[in-house]
Every structure is written in C-alpha cells, then in structure tokens.
Amino acid sequence: MDKFDYKVLWNKFHGVREDWFDGDENLGPEITTDLLSRYGAEGWEVAATMQMVAGPTHKIILKRRQNSV
C-alpha cells in the first residue's frame, strides 16, 4: 500500500502584505516556479489547491511518496 507525506502551503496577511507560509517559514508574497521546482526536487508534487472564504484565502496541498521500509 502506498503511503504519502503531506504539506500545506497557505497565505495570510503579514503586516500590510499577503505572504505565503510553509508552517512557520515565510515564503514571501508569491509562489514562484523556482520555489515549486525546489519542492519538486525534494519529491513533493501539487495534489490540490483550495480557495477559502475566511482565514487564509488560499492553500496549496503537496504530497510525496514515503520511502519504503
């Protein structure tokens, strides 16, 4: 059975601008192809995106296959 790890990137207002976050790490005001390529090199791929009505306005859900033990 395949097992996966998941990661959620989300955005929120941070001061006067809207920034993206990976946990506590502030990724800046936009998701770039360089950033997505870095995650891709680590085995992450985009599984879904969400637009929320309240709270963080957008989320990007990433997944990667866990290594077999």
Q: What is the mean pLDDT of residues 39-49?
A: 96
Query: Is the overall model pTM greater than 0.85, yes or no?
Result: no
Whether 44 shows a pLDDT value over 90: the answer reads: yes
Q: Looking at residue 68, what is its pLDDT? A: 56
Tens digits of per-residue pLDDT, 21-38?
999 999 999 999 999 999
Q: Looking at residue 12, what is its pLDDT? A: 84
Rg over alpha carbons for the chain, rounded to the nearest Å, is 13
Task: Give the C-alpha separation, 56 to 51, whole Å.
Answer: 8
If you average pLDDT over every residue of the chain, what do you get? 89
Is residue 69 within 8 A of residue 2, CB to CB? The reply is no
Instruction: Find tokens 């005001």 and name the residue.
Output: 29
Q: What is the mean pLDDT of residues 29-54?
A: 92
